[in-house]
């Protein structure tokens, strides 16, 4: 039997985009011949994944998974919304969330972790899924929160099935009391976060650079009024307070009653909100704007007008 080195397997992976296990098997079947191994992968439909890796993937699903005192959330992207309705893809996202719950939020660690009941890693399973479904996909990000006493509640907005949707939230709640009650309050916090999109938990957590940019804008706006500097300073202070009410979770108005501050709700309930995370599918990804007329013309072999 020909000895298959790790470097040879890596070379085949780089050329085809197929998983480690599939590349090793291909090389064994081909007796170590690189080109024959590529052909073997092509025949199995496993090398197609590499051709799709350059496409923009901004659709997909956000998935969540929970355990006592802990919860994880992942975003797995695909090219089209159609894939989000694929049962294989949905099952994959759900499993990746469970893996993140176990290994943490590092994407490399998640990709290297065993994928349940497959004999492959998560990364290799993803490559297999890309080849099967025919779209570029990637595990974009993950977040894991935990508490020593309390619960990490999950909320998924407009879920396509339990734990999967387009917007997901984790809310870490610490405090005494019944777990069910803490999880219910945490879910309410999750719904609030989904609706209001806060940037920080508390004022101290606001990004200093973002705050300075905001103050600069507010100062210029105030000076445009032509008022004295002393008045301008008061105007900026008032607008900064308003800014905090918009971006800081504990300073926001509780969406469930429209009048209380989130800080007051937490105090009244005898709990502390220790952290939160919000994923909205595709946020921050620059989607390619295709010119449909040009695409049709290109397919027909003519120049678009």
Question: HSE (CB half, 13 Å, CA atoms) of 45?
Answer: 8
- Residues in the chain predicted with pLDDT less than 70, given as ranges, are 1, 14, 17, 42-57, 286-305
pLDDT for position 300: 47
- Residues 232/222, Cβ–Cβ less than 8 Å: yes
Say what the pLDDT of residue 40 is.
80
Q: What is the pLDDT of residue 234?
A: 85
Q: CATH number for the 207-247 domain, one of 3.40.190, 1.10.286, 2.10.260, 2.10.270?
A: 1.10.286
**Average per-residue pLDDT in the chain?**
86
Give the model's pLDDT for residue 37: 85
Q: Which residues contact 101 (CB under 8 A, 6 or more apart)?
A: 65, 66, 67, 70, 71, 72, 144
Parse the chain into domains and list their residue ranges. Answer: 6-52, 59-203+248-280, 207-247
What's the CATH code, domain 6-52?
Answer: 1.10.8.10
Question: Of 176, 97, 89, nearest to 134 (Cα)?
Answer: 89
């Amino acid at each position: 039997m020909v000895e298959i080195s790790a470097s040879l397997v890596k070379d085949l992976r780089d050329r085809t985009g197929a998983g480690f296990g599939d590349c090793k098997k291909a090389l064994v079947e081909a007796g170590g011949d690189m080109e024959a191994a590529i052909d073997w992968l092509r025949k199995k439909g496993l090398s197609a994944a590499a051709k799709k890796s350059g496409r923009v993937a901004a659709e997909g699903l956000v998935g969540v998974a929970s355990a006592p005192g802990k919860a994880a959330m992942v975003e797995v992207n695909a090219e089209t919304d159609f894939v989000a309705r694929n049962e294989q893809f949905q099952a994959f996202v759900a499993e990746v969330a469970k893996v993140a719950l176990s290994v943490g939020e590092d994407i490399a660690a998640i990709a290297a972790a065993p994928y349940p009941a497959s004999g492959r890693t998560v990364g290799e399973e993803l490559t297999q899924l890309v080849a099967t479904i025919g779209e570029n996909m990637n595990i974009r990000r993950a977040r894991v929160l935990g508490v020593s006493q309390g619960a990490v509640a999950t909320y998924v907005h407009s879920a396509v099935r339990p734990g999967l949707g387009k917007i997901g939230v984790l809310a870490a709640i610490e405090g005494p009391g019944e777990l069910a009650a803490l999880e219910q309050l945490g879910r309410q916090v999750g719904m609030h976060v989904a609706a209001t999109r806060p940037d920080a938990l508390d004022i101290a957590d606001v990004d200093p650079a973002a705050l300075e940019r905001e103050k600069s804008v507010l100062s210029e706006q105030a000076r445009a009024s032509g008022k004295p500097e002393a008045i301008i300073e008061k105007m900026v202070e008032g607008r900064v307070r308003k800014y905090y009410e918009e971006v800081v979770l504990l300073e926001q108005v509780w969406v469930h009653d429209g009048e209380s501050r989130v800080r007051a709700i937490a105090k009244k309930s005898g709990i502390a909100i220790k952290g939160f995370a919000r994923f909205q599918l595709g946020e921050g990804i620059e989607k390619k704007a295709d010119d449909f007329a040009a695409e049709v013309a290109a397919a027909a072999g003519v120049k678009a007008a």
